[in-house]
Amino acid sequence: MRIMRFSYVIGVLALLSLLASPISAMASSLLIWPIYPVIESDQQASALWLENQGSQPANMQLRIFAWSQERGDDQYQTQQSVVGSPPMMTIAPGERQMVRLIRQAVPPVGQEQAYRIIIDEIPALAPGNEVQNTPRAAVKLQMRYSLPLFVYGEGGIPPERVANHSNSGFYPGLSWRVIQQGEQAQLEIQNTGQHHVRLSQVAFKQGETRAEVSAGLLGYVLPGGTRRWLLPPGVRPMGELHAQILGESHRVLPK
């Protein structure tokens, strides 16, 4: 397997954390839904829809990578356990395209497996460029979309359907600490639970004082994973760490 870390260059927009439904990108007028696709234990496949609301055909490439977390960062691996069909498509203006997300291997019983769906816009050549010998000074804008995909083995269910039985207000399985990397302070959150956790509106709170880490989506911590984020300038740990998880406010237990 080849481990990948996506890097973005000038002219590429990466939309890694998407909050609205469906997704809309103004530059390409592409809508994508659902934005949180899953393949449940009794399903062999799930559907993902792409709609071109622009005035020009949209050439798209879809790839699916295995997703893990190592050394506090996201890692992506090529894989064949889940595939998208079709992987390449041209969507005419005003048309929709369904992509089947197909499970080709049976996940372990009771487990959740994480993937990232990467959808790239492939810019069409401008008229005459295919025979142009001298490169023109131009910037080509390409859109990239990234969606999470979770696949469940027999007996496994999405976290939205798991009741939180904690009476303490602390979200089960989560813990945090702040580590120092040179001059940079990082918030590290560990997840020892069996499901991914999507964190948003993360802040330190002490009495009426609030130090905001993220006003919107901070990111995901996968089961058995650890994720780190740089703390904003001037933000230091104090009191308790709070986060919005599954639509409710929770405290996160310090290590």
- What pLDDT is attached to residue 8? 35
List pLDDT tens digits, range 121-137.
998 765 555 544 545 54
- What pLDDT is attached to residue 79? 98
List pLDDT tens digits, range 74-90.
999 999 999 999 999 99
The total of structural domains in the chain comes to 2
Please indicate, yes or no, whether residues 138 and 47 belong to a single structural domain of this protein: yes
* DSSP 8-state class, residue 241: E
Region 40-55: mean pLDDT is 97
Enter the tokens of residue 251: 């405290």
pLDDT band at 232 (very low <50, low <70, confident <90, very high): very high
Q: Measured between alpha carbons, how far is 255 from 244 in angstroms, rounded to an integer?
A: 19
Residue 18 maps to which CATH number? 2.60.40.10
Pick 187 or 12 by higher pLDDT: 187
pLDDT at residue 228 tops 60: yes
- What pLDDT is attached to residue 162? 87
Q: Measured between alpha carbons, how far is 242 from 240 in angstroms, rounded to an integer?
A: 6
pLDDT at residue 6 tops 70: no
pLDDT band at 16 (very low <50, low <70, confident <90, very high): very low
Pick 115 or 2 by higher pLDDT: 115
Residue 192 maps to which CATH number? 2.60.40
pLDDT band at 21 (very low <50, low <70, confident <90, very high): very low
Please indicate, yes or no, whether residues 61 and 88 belong to a single structural domain of this protein: yes
Structural domain of residue 82, as residue ranges? 3-152
- What pLDDT is attached to residue 145? 96
Please indicate, yes or no, whether residues 119 and 171 belong to a single structural domain of this protein: no
Domain finish residue from 152, 179, 211: 152
pLDDT band at 183 (very low <50, low <70, confident <90, very high): confident
Please indicate, yes or no, whether residues 7 and 133 belong to a single structural domain of this protein: yes
Domain finish residue from 152, 174, 197: 152
Please indicate, yes or no, whether residues 33 and 138 belong to a single structural domain of this protein: yes
Q: Measured between alpha carbons, how far is 210 from 205 in angstroms, rounded to an integer?
A: 5
Please indicate, yes or no, whether residues 142 and 120 belong to a single structural domain of this protein: yes
Please indicate, yes or no, whether residues 139 and 168 belong to a single structural domain of this protein: no
- What pLDDT is attached to residue 81? 98
pLDDT at residue 233 tops 60: yes
pLDDT at residue 43 tops 90: yes
Secondary structure of 113-160 as H, E, C letters? EEEEEEEEECCCCCCCHHHCCCCCCCCCCEEEEEEEEEEECCCCCCHH
Please indicate, yes or no, whether residues 144 and 168 belong to a single structural domain of this protein: no
Please indicate, yes or no, whether residues 119 and 168 belong to a single structural domain of this protein: no
Please indicate, yes or no, whether residues 225 and 178 belong to a single structural domain of this protein: yes
Please indicate, yes or no, whether residues 166 and 144 belong to a single structural domain of this protein: no
Query: What percent of the chain has a predicted confidence (pLDDT) above 70?
Result: 81
Region 195-215: mean pLDDT is 97
Domain finish residue from 152, 178, 209: 152
Region 156-160: mean pLDDT is 95
pLDDT band at 23 (very low <50, low <70, confident <90, very high): low
- What pLDDT is attached to residue 117? 98
